[in-house]
Amino acid sequence: MELRYPLVWLCLAVALGRSDVNQGLVPFDFLFDAAVEAYYKGDWLSVILNMEKALLNKATVQKVKAQCRLSCANQTAFGEPLAGLGVPVPGAGSVEDLGFFQKILKRADCVNSCETEQLGYPSLHQVGEDVELEFQKRTPYNYLQVAYFKINKLDKAVAAAKTFFQANPDHSEMKQNLDYYRMMAGVQEEDFKDLESSTHMAEFLLGKRFYSDESFWLAAEHFEVAVDEYFVADKKCRALCEGAYRFDGYNYMEYSADLFQTMTDHYLQVLSCKQHCSVDLASAAGRDQPFHDFLPSHFNYLQFSYYNSEKYEQAIECAKTYLLFYPEDEVMKQNLNYYSVVLGEDKARTITARQMVKQHMQQSILEKELLYLGYEAFGITFVDSDTWTPESVMPKKLRDKQKADRETAARITEEIGNLMKEIETLVEEKKKDSSDMAKMVAPQEGRNQPVWS
């Protein structure tokens, strides 16, 4: 891997000349490179020190960026209109436009000041795609498991190996390492833990385990924590989407758009990223696919867990929440009717679906509508990963196109099926003809035999 020491030290030197900026956080790509260099020198303590610090600093950068963006969004929200709205300003657009851009400028200043104060200059923490990919693949834990093993810290070596293997289940060497660790004296089963496991996913998986064991009250407790942590993680994921524009598929030097087209391109990219958070949060290390219907499934599990725990009020609340996603689900409607009869229909009517979920869905639907508008106006592709999205959200033109595509695909599939049947029939007929040829009747003795003189 190409090292970036000269550039990093230059950036640090420039920044250190300023006393008004926090200089405590060393860029994590610099630490990663230092750890890799130490690894090839066999300096195991330096590997551990730098790699652990790299992981910590990367997490800190993400945490600070998310906190700054969320905090500044609250401080500079688009609330009450400014005085004088509606009065045209000759040559400069309406006052509404100026009010909008005033908020934008204030938020940008707020975020920049917040991040610079806590992290230093933003350019210090801009890393290349190669390093980002190494962290996504959990490569640091591969180095760490070797380094910890070399200094006989087996519990930490096992945890690092497990963490790496969770994201790389096809890595045969790491599998062998884990098998070897299991046979070693002093290694405990609790040492095999995923250090990168997200709280919401860990709680969800625990809930599923208790649910399968029919320990429904314990299952409900973990699913409730999973829901709370899901929305915490969703907020962070969405805030981190508000980064720099990514120039996909063409060189940034060739990009020439006016003010509003530039804003549109960037904002639609941000919205698309925010929509993808539901996929990211439903993904678990080691799984090929995200969990299907991840957020709605929490409330499906919860309503049945509460029912089996005889907590009918909570069961009704969760059933109604699930029906926000799928209002025509007949099984859930039957469950809700049953719970309402058991609790009392008058009391059941006073119980409502969870407001946080309702707000989450409303925001998501508005984002989808904007993304579909971007598709219609500018051809910017948006693939909705949520199966619960109401059909009416998608533009009719796109619905008709997708319907036609599905019909075409079904017709092609049917034609291929018919063709395969014809081929099978021809093969069977060919086999039959071959079999008939092989069944020639042998001449009987004394008949049609040549006569020898």
In a domain? residue 427:
no
| 117 and 211 together in one domain | no
Among candidates 71, 75, 77, which has minimal Cα distance to 115? 71
| 169 and 205 together in one domain | no
Contact 46, 151 (CB under 8 A): no
| 173 and 134 together in one domain | yes
367 residue type, one letter: E
Distances (CA, A) of 214 to 140, 321, 368: 39, 22, 38
Q: What is the dihedral of CA 213, 218, 224, 226, to 10 degrees?
A: -60
Please, what's the b/e burial string for 43-53 (b: 16 or more CB within 10 A of its CB; e: otherwise)?
A: bbebbbbbbbb
Read off φ and ψ for residue 94, nearest 5 degrees: -80, 165
Domain of 159 in residue numbering reads as 5-78+106-191
In a domain? residue 450:
no
In a domain? residue 426:
no
| 365 and 230 together in one domain | yes
Q: What is the pLDDT of residue 251?
A: 59
Return the number of other C-beta atoms located less than 10 Å from residue 238's C-beta: 20
In a domain? residue 88:
no
| 314 and 171 together in one domain | no
In a domain? residue 205:
yes
Among candidates 48, 39, 31, which has minimal Cα distance to 152? 48
| 163 and 228 together in one domain | no
Residue where one domain finishes, among candidates 371, 404, 439: 371
pTM for the whole structure: 0.80
In a domain? residue 417:
no
Percentages of the chain per state (helix, strand, coil), in multiples of 5: 70, 0, 30
| 162 and 282 together in one domain | no
Distances (CA, A) of 91 to 84, 88, 199, 307, 450: 17, 9, 53, 65, 117
Residue where one domain finishes, among candidates 371, 400, 420: 371
Residue where one domain finishes, among candidates 371, 404, 428: 371
pLDDT digit string (tens) for the chain, length 453 residues = 444 444 444 444 444 444 444 556 899 999 999 999 999 999 999 999 999 999 999 999 999 999 999 999 988 776 655 555 555 555 556 777 888 889 999 999 999 999 999 998 877 888 888 999 999 999 999 999 999 999 999 999 999 999 999 999 999 999 999 999 999 999 999 999 999 999 999 999 999 999 999 999 999 999 999 999 999 999 999 999 999 888 876 556 677 888 899 999 999 999 999 999 999 999 988 788 999 999 999 999 999 999 999 999 999 999 999 999 999 999 999 999 999 999 999 999 999 999 999 999 999 999 999 999 999 999 888 999 999 999 989 888 777 776 676 777 777 887 787 888 888 888 777 777 666 665 555 455 544 444 443
| 239 and 291 together in one domain | yes
Q: What is the pLDDT of residue 252?
A: 65
3-state SS assignment for residue 351: coil
| 214 and 169 together in one domain | no
| 340 and 287 together in one domain | yes
Q: What is the pLDDT of residue 6?
A: 40
| 159 and 42 together in one domain | yes
Into how many domains does the chain fold? 2
In a domain? residue 445:
no
Indicate which CATH number applies to the domain containing 116.
1.25.40.10
Tokens encoding 279: 């996929």
Q: What is the pLDDT of residue 150?
A: 96
Among candidates 267, 362, 352, which has minimal Cα distance to 318? 352
| 216 and 283 together in one domain | yes
**Degrees, nearest 5: CA angle 110-116-117:** 90
Q: What is the pLDDT of residue 220?
A: 98
Q: What is the pLDDT of residue 92?
A: 55
Please, what's the b/e burial string for 62-82 (b: 16 or more CB within 10 A of its CB; e: otherwise)?
A: eebbbebbbebeeebeeeeee
In a domain? residue 443:
no
